[in-house]
């Protein structure tokens, strides 16, 4: 992956934003100038546009302490989904209510190809450990900042105290109780000190900054000592169907907080881009619950006034717990 982005080498890390600095945290002056230039331009087009998404096009939407999400480009809208489903030309005389009904039907019955007619491209700045989770979604086109070509900025993620939690006793990949204040302060001290030390060593490995200085270690090797909380950037292009799948997993309450923070910002861009699809998605995917055949039998038994038990239903303890929680019967 080789996104070459001009990057500076800040002399020190600052955990707090500069009150006299108008640019969003995480956006360099060069990037802000590019954003301002992009947003100052207007183009006449015959293509379908989403006005609410146009309002924030190119803007850096802040995430975490130094991250952001930017919508760079998109193709299609709710009408493109409907058109593909009907295999028709133009919008015709259909009303919004009818389009909404069709999109709800497509979402409810898990049709995919009509949603694949729309695409969107994001520019994302995110911690490396979040990127390693994110890249598991292999249905997108990705081009990442190249630390073989450019020098990484001295920016790293530090969690807010309320997001510092112990390992969960019941979930091997989740968090438990929030750390006590003195424990959290020590954790932040360790994370900050390690990151600052690692970046100082990274600069030392790189050697001098100008041609007059002796050459240092190759950039592709010097980056090895940086910790996973340093920030990277990439362009990420995906079709609407696969974006919805990404959001269904990463905007879920069970997702890791850091990647969920990005998913929630992207949910807002989804509502601006395809509001009918976003509403159907919230109704049937984010706010819904998929029933297996045995779970459906349990619901039928409950409606019939019976009191089924887990063993007779053939459900695992986790399946039973999830079903009872979804039905509001977990007390």
Q: Catalytic positions, please?
A: 250
Residue whose pair of structure tokens reads 């399946």 in the numeric block: 319
Separation between Cα atoms, residue 69 and residue 84, nearest integer Å: 29
How remote is the C-alpha of 272 from its chain's centroid? 16
DSSP string, 206-239: HB-SSTTSPB-S-HHHHGGG--TTBEEEEEEEEE
How many residues can be counted in the chain?
Answer: 331
| DSSP conformation class of 47 | S
How remote is the C-alpha of 67 from its chain's centroid? 11
**Positive or negative: CA dihedral 10, 11, 12, 16:** negative
**Positive or negative: CA dihedral 317, 329, 253, 115:** positive
| DSSP conformation class of 326 | H
Cβ neighbours around 10 below 10 Å, total? 12
- Strand, coil or helix: what is 72? strand
Residue whose pair of structure tokens reads 């990274």 in the numeric block: 202
């Amino acid at each position: 992956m080789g996104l070459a982005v001009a990057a500076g080498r800040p002399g020190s890390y600052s955990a707090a934003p500069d009150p006299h600095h108008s640019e969003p945290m995480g956006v360099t002056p060069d990037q802000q100038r590019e954003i301002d230039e992009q947003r100052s331009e207007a183009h006449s087009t015959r293509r379908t546009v989403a006005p609410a998404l146009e309002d924030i096009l190119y803007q850096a939407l802040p995430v975490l302490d130094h991250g952001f999400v930017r919508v760079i480009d998109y193709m299609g809208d709710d009408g493109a989904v409907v058109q593909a489903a009907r295999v028709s030309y133009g919008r015709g005389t259909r009303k919004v209510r009818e389009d909404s009904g069709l999109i709800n039907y497509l979402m409810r019955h898990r049709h995919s190809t009509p949603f694949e007619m729309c695409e969107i491209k994001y520019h994302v700045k995110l911690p490396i450990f979040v990127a390693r989770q994110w890249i598991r979604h292999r249905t997108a086109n990705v081009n990442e900042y190249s630390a073989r070509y450019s020098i990484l900025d001295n920016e790293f993620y530090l969690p807010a105290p309320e997001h510092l939690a112990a390992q969960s006793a019941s979930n091997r990949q989740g968090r438990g109780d929030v750390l006590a204040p003195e424990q959290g302060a020590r954790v932040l001290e360790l994370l900050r000190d390690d990151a600052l030390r690692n970046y100082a060593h990274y600069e030392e490995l790189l050697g001098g900054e100008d041609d007059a200085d002796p050459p240092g270690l190759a950039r592709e090797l010097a980056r090895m000592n940086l910790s996973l909380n340093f920030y990277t950037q990439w362009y990420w292009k995906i079709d609407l169907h696969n974006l919805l799948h990404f959001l269904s997993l990463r905007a879920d309450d069970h997702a890791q907080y850091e990647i969920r923070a990005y998913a929630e910002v992207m949910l807002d861009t989804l509502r601006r881009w395809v509001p009918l699809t976003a509403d159907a998605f919230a109704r049937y995917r984010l706010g819904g619950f998929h029933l297996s055949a045995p779970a459906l039998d349990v619901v039928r038994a409950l409606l019939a006034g019976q009191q089924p038990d887990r063993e007779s239903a053939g459900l695992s303890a986790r399946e039973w717990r999830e079903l009872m929680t979804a039905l509001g019967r977990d007390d």
